[in-house]
Structures are given as structure tokens and as C-alpha cells.
Amino acid sequence: MDRQKNFLTPDLNQIRHTIKGIDDSYNHDWDILAELCQNSVDAIRETSENNGRIDLEINAKNRSVKITDNGIGIKPDRLPNLLKPFSTDKAKNSNSIGEKGVGLTFAMFSCNKFYIKSGNSNGVSEARVNNALSWKKSNDDSYLNLENHTILEEEFYGTEVYLEDVKESPIFELNFDQLKFVLRTKTSLGNTKSLWQDDQNIDIYLNFIDINGKRFNEKIDFKYRTILDEVSERSKIDLEEFVNYLKEKDRTNQEKRNKLRDKIIYKKGSYTHNNNREINYIACFVPNRNVWKKISVSKNLCTEEQLKNDNWLDKYEYTIYQNGIFTSVKGMPTGIKINNPSTGSAGYWSNIFILFEDQQLKFDVGRKSIHGSQASIHRKYAKILFNEFLDYVRKYVSGDINSSRPDWDKDEIFDEIDQIIDLDIPGIKFAKNPRNQEASISALFFECIGRDIIKDIKPLYCGYKRRYDLYALWNNKKLVIEFKSQLRNILKDFNDEQKMFNEIDCIVCWNIDEDDHQAMVNKGLSIEEVNGSIFSKRNRKVPHSTHKLILSGLTSPIYLIDLKKVLE
């Protein structure tokens, strides 16, 4: 009897589990677009064509995406295999961005209608996969079939991919200007190589139908978009130019201020790490931290009202200009933001944007984070750049960047505040309902402590090292506390790995509701009300906890203080 068996062949449940694992590794709204654009750019870079072309069509009304390129194409006999998870032809190509073989799988299982057509000198073929998204979510024993893999008798060079009935995503809610910004700052269409060198040209034609049915068509640049693109030559200055200006002759402080007034200071260059790793960079220092928001408003990336709304910012912050340290690899922006290094004058980090281009950068499947040792390398060079800016310009930067934003009107602001619903709680001086304003939650929490409504929690320090909101003591127990206007807003911090579940003891928020419960369930978390006395120390519950946030049984829960419930 033949007792041998191929024990490495996965069964149906293992395959579905693997695909769900791939899907769970992606957390950004733009991930589908990033993977499709990455595949097209990689395919074009593998050809000898001097003029690449990508046509991208996005229809928000029926949640469809179509992308066509004139890249290297896929041989007909390779197409079925390349649709399997972890299958790739890029592993041996050092110039390709993708190499893990999961991008197309992620895209395919994010929709219920998937079509691909690809060809080159070896022939042309097409294939369809239907109901992949529904199959991934199901638990039945049915298999998912590749339908109609057909050899076509036609000439076609490149690849066309079409997705319809894509899973719901805020990316379909964007306006045209926001979409263009995301494509040029979060996907391979925003080619970062061109910031430092001449690179292969790719013509990109974008067609977009928004959720209202309005159609837009535009050719967009194959280049990463920075805040420098949004201002005139008179509103920016190279740091090297300013340094040379200082060296020409003795300058008065007033002359130095005049030289930098109302300008963005920038610097481009490269570092060589350990003698063999070249890291390019571009850094911008704005004269006023509000410049990021002002230019975003002037370019129709957001409105003044949206910038005042914490919920909107938590959901759509990636569609506007912002400070921070970002990374790219082989011409592709990753969208990964690195925490600032510890420095003096830390407040100036709000004025600085840095993008590092690192050919040796490695990141996880869903581009959520880069490995700790690599982040340390980039933080090291970010600190050098930060100090260089401060050494030369801190004393002399002033003014603002011209934009179309109207002047701030104090009386108008107070009129708007007057329209906010009154809190009207006896014994509480804080006047307005704090919903949608994280700072108001924090202020109300501290008033509750000052009035002895919340007891036994001793605040120590707010925002230490810019990671968590409050460090406090409960008797001898150390507490890490976060403030959120709505509980579900913490999910963005978890997704971006800016804050970690097992490092937070307590979240203070306002009015935990059904939307919060559903948002947590969607991420595999659950909310439970705290039973019994919420003041019991024997049960080790944080004082005044109203609920707890649970992630399986492998880690301690995060206790929740719903201030609305506490005050009622």
C-alpha cells in the first residue's frame, strides 16, 4: 500500500484563512489602487518602451476600477498560476517594487467581479473570477473557480484589470482633487525617483466618475506631489541658497528674516548609510504649521469646516498635506509615517515634512509599518535634517504662505461656537457638548478630576514624547490614557500602528454608541459594559470605567470611561 501523501497541500479552509490573512494585512483606503498601480508601473519598467502609458478609470457610483498598461504583459500559460496567492514573476527583478505575490490576490478578493486580460509576443488571454469577495466571507465548502480562461486571437501588448462591485471604501467618497492627491502621494503613480533624477516617462490618463455621477478626465504627472508644487518660486527657497546668502557677506538679522519671510525652505540630497546604502531625501520646513492646512484648503483637498471636525480628520487625513517623516522605495511612496525622533525644540516637528527614498527598505505585506531597525535608520537622518534646519532658520522664519484662505474672524468663530449644543450639566463649568472634539474631551476629563467627580486618578504628564495623551497613576498602578471624541477613532491609530492595544490602559471618550460597537466588531474587537461596582479596586478595574474593549483573551482589556455616562 502506498502510504505517501502530499501533506503540504492546503485544504479549502486553510486557503480561505490564508486569503483572509492577506486581506487583514491591508488597512489603508488606497491599498487596492496602490497594488494595481504598482503592478502596472512594474510591468512598464520591465519593457524596453521609452513611453509607457497607464489608463486608470474609477467609477465611484458602481465601485469599479479599471487599469490598463502597455507593460510587459503575461504569457497565456502563466496567467492562471499568477492569480494564485503568493505567485509572482517579480522575485528575480531587483527593479520591481512588488515581490510578495499578494497584491493581485488582495485586489481580486476585494470585489465580486474580477476580469484580467494580458498579452505580449507570446499571445493574449483573458480570465474572470466572480464572487471572490462573497466567497472569502463565506464558510461553505464550495470552491472558487477561474472562469473562462480563454486564448484570444488578437494583438494586445500589456495588461488590463477590471474590478467591479468592490467592497465599500471611503476612497469612493473622495472628490477628484483628493483622488489625484492620493494617487500621487500614496501609489506608484507618484513616482519618487523623479524628485532626484531623470526617470522613465509614463503618461497617465485618469478618468473618474464621482458618487454624484459627475465625470472628470485629466492627464496627471508621473511624479510625487509635494507642497513645493503648490507655491510659486517666490514662496520657496533652497536651504543651500540661504546658506550661501549668509556666506556672501555679513547680514543683519532683519536681512535674514526678509530673505526667508513667507517662504518654504527645502533641501534635497542623499546620505550613505554604512558605506553601501544610499538614502535620498527631500525635506520642507514651512514658516507656520498652519500652512499645511491652508494649502490643502486652497487646493480643494478639504474645507475649513472639515478641518475642525476630528471625525473627518481621522477618516480622511491622508487626503491633505501634513507634516511628518515618510518613506518610499524604488520610486513608490509607501504611505508609512515614522514617529519623530526625540529632539530638543520638538514643537518644530509640526513645521517639517521629510520623504526618504530607500532602495533597501523592507515593509510588511499591507504597508502598515517598516521594521524597527530600519525606522531607527531613518529617524537618525531625520534628526540630522531637523537640527540643520533649526541651526540656520529657526531665528529668522516668520510670515505665512499666500493662499486663498479667508482671514480668521474671531467674532465669527465665537458665533459658530454659540450654535453648538449646550452641555448643561449641573456643577460642570464646561459649557458646550464635547462630541467631535478630542481636546474638549480632555478638558472635561480634567474638570471632572478637579471637581472630584473622577477620583483616584492622578495625572502626571500629557503627551510625553508625543505618543500617548496622558500618563497617570491610580494608587501605585501606572496608567496610559488616550482621549477620543468617539471611541471608534482609536481604530485608525491601531491600523497605522502609531498606538498599540497592549500599551493602553484606558480610553476616555464621549457617548459609546452602536456605531462604535459595530466598528469594533468589524475589526475583531468587542465592547462590554463593566458589571458591578465600577469603583471596585479588588477587580482591578480602572476607576469610573463604564466599559471595556476586548481583543480575544490573549491580552488585558482596555478600560473605557464614557464621560457622558459618568456625568449622567
First to last CA, the chain: 75
Residue 230 has pLDDT above 70, yes or no: yes
Residue written as grid cell 497541500:
9
pLDDT in tens, 468-495: 999 999 988 999 999 999 999 898 888 7
Position 335 confidence tier, pLDDT thresholds 50, 70, 90:
confident
**pLDDT at position 497:** 67
| Other Cβ atoms closer than 10 A to 432 | 16
Residue 102 has pLDDT above 80, yes or no: no
**pLDDT at position 100:** 47
**pLDDT at position 152:** 92
**pLDDT at position 404:** 42
pLDDT in tens, 48-92: 767 899 999 999 999 999 999 999 999 998 888 888 766 655 545
Burial class (CB in 10 A: 0-12, 13-18, 19+), 8: exposed
**pLDDT at position 537:** 44
**pLDDT at position 403:** 47
**Pairing relation of β-strands 506-509 and 477-483?**
parallel
Greatest mean pLDDT among 100-114, 129-143, 151-165, 524-538: 151-165
Longest dimension (CA), the chain: 95
Question: DSSP code of 320?
Answer: S
> Any bridge partners for residue 58, and if so which?
65, 208
Per-domain boundaries in the chain: 12-220, 227-393, 410-567
**pLDDT at position 19:** 76
**pLDDT at position 415:** 79
User: Which of these ranges, 62-66, 134-138, 383-387, 479-483, has the smallest mean pLDDT?
Assistant: 134-138
User: Which of these ranges, 7-21, 51-65, 138-152, 520-534, has the smallest mean pLDDT?
Assistant: 7-21
What's the chain's average pLDDT? Answer: 87
**pLDDT at position 52:** 93
Assign domain 12-220 to its CATH architecture.
2-Layer Sandwich (3.30)
Which of 70-99 are b and which e, b meaning 16 or more Cβ less than 10 Å from the residue's Cβ? bbbbbbbeebeebbebeebbbeeeeebbbb
pLDDT in tens, 169-191: 999 999 999 999 999 999 999 99
pTM above 0.75, yes or no: no
**pLDDT at position 4:** 56
**pLDDT at position 250:** 85
CA-to-CA distance for 235 and 515, rounded, in angstroms? Answer: 44
Position 33 confidence tier, pLDDT thresholds 50, 70, 90:
very high
**pLDDT at position 10:** 65
Greatest mean pLDDT among 232-236, 333-337, 396-400, 494-498: 232-236
**pLDDT at position 402:** 53
**pLDDT at position 538:** 46
Q: How is residue 46 written as a grid cell?
A: 520591465
Per the model's pLDDT, the better-predicted residue between 122 and 90 turns out to be 122
**pLDDT at position 366:** 52
pLDDT, mean of residues 201-227: 96
**pLDDT at position 480:** 95
In a 3-state reduction of DSSP, which class is residue 326?
A: strand
Residue 535 has pLDDT above 50, yes or no: no
**pLDDT at position 122:** 94
From 478, 452, 476, 448, select the one nearest 561 (Cα to Cα). Answer: 448
Alpha helices in 6-71 (DSSP H): 12-24, 31-45
**pLDDT at position 88:** 58
Residue 193 has pLDDT above 70, yes or no: yes
Burial class (CB in 10 A: 0-12, 13-18, 19+), 426: exposed
CA-to-CA distance for 41 and 72, rounded, in angstroms? Answer: 10
From 427, 469, 471, 434, select the one nearest 452 (Cα to Cα). Answer: 427
Per the model's pLDDT, the better-predicted residue between 229 and 464 turns out to be 229
Per the model's pLDDT, the better-predicted residue between 436 and 24 turns out to be 436
Note whether 530 and 550 are within 8 A (CB): no
User: Which of these ranges, 67-76, 233-242, 295-304, 484-493, has the smallest mean pLDDT?
Assistant: 484-493
CA-to-CA distance for 247 and 452, rounded, in angstroms? Answer: 60
Note whether 164 and 113 are within 8 A (CB): yes
**pLDDT at position 26:** 79
pLDDT, mean of residues 275-297: 94
**pLDDT at position 506:** 96
